[in-house]
């Protein structure tokens, strides 16, 4: 059975990987990253969320407020000039574009969970 190129690449990466300590993993997680936001033709700097921050976000029931807080938490960690008040002033389409880009730039592990953070972009469907 022939392996796909993707499978071959994964096997190669696994062979080349080295053991890491939790301190090394935490240090890498704290690194500032950049993501391109097509809607505003700019990059923003951010840091990934911690498990504790994700747990706090999951407590926010309103999807729009959750998206605002999601963007604020990640972006403000990479850019100290970002405040919650400034994020709340963003046009809705820009907030959605930033939330979506941050979502894609964060760990693929969180992709399914973080879908709920960008639900603000989808209007609620009401049925009678």
Do 68 and 39 meet the contact criterion of CB atoms below 8 Å apart? no
Neighbours of 49 (CB within 10 A): 22
Task: Using DSSP, state whether 109 is helix, strand or coil.
Answer: helix
- Parse the chain into domains and list their residue ranges: 33-121
What was the pLDDT predicted at 122? 44
Q: Alpha-carbon distance 92 to 75, whole Å?
A: 16
Instruction: Please determine, for residue 18, whether its predicted confidence score (pLDDT) is greater than 60.
Output: yes
Look at the pTM and tell me if it is higher than 0.75: no
Q: How confident is the model at residue 40 (pLDDT cuts 50, 70, 90)?
A: very high
Do 67 and 120 meet the contact criterion of CB atoms below 8 Å apart? yes
What was the pLDDT predicted at 29? 87
Q: Alpha-carbon distance 103 to 8, whole Å?
A: 27
Do 110 and 125 meet the contact criterion of CB atoms below 8 Å apart? no
Helices (H) and strands (E) in the chain, counts: 7, 2
Rg value, the chain, Cα: 17
Q: What is the mean pLDDT of the chain?
A: 86
Percent of residues, the chain, with pLDDT higher than 90: 67
Structure token digits, residue 87 = 């994020």
What was the pLDDT predicted at 108? 57
The DSSP call for residue 121 is G
């Amino acid at each position: 059975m022939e392996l796909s190129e993707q499978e071959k690449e994964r096997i190669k990466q696994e062979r080349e990987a080295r053991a890491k300590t939790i301190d090394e993993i935490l240090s890498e997680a704290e690194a500032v990253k950049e993501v391109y936001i097509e809607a505003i033709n700019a990059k923003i700097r951010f840091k990934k969320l911690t498990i504790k921050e994700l747990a706090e976000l999951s407590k926010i029931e309103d999807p729009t407020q959750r998206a605002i807080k999601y963007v604020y938490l990640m972006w403000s960690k990479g850019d100290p000039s970002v405040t919650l008040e400034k994020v709340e002033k963003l046009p809705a389409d820009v907030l959605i574009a930033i939330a979506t880009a941050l979502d894609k730039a964060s760990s693929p592990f969180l992709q399914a969970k973080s879908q709920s953070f960008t639900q603000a972009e989808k209007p609620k469907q009401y049925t009678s």
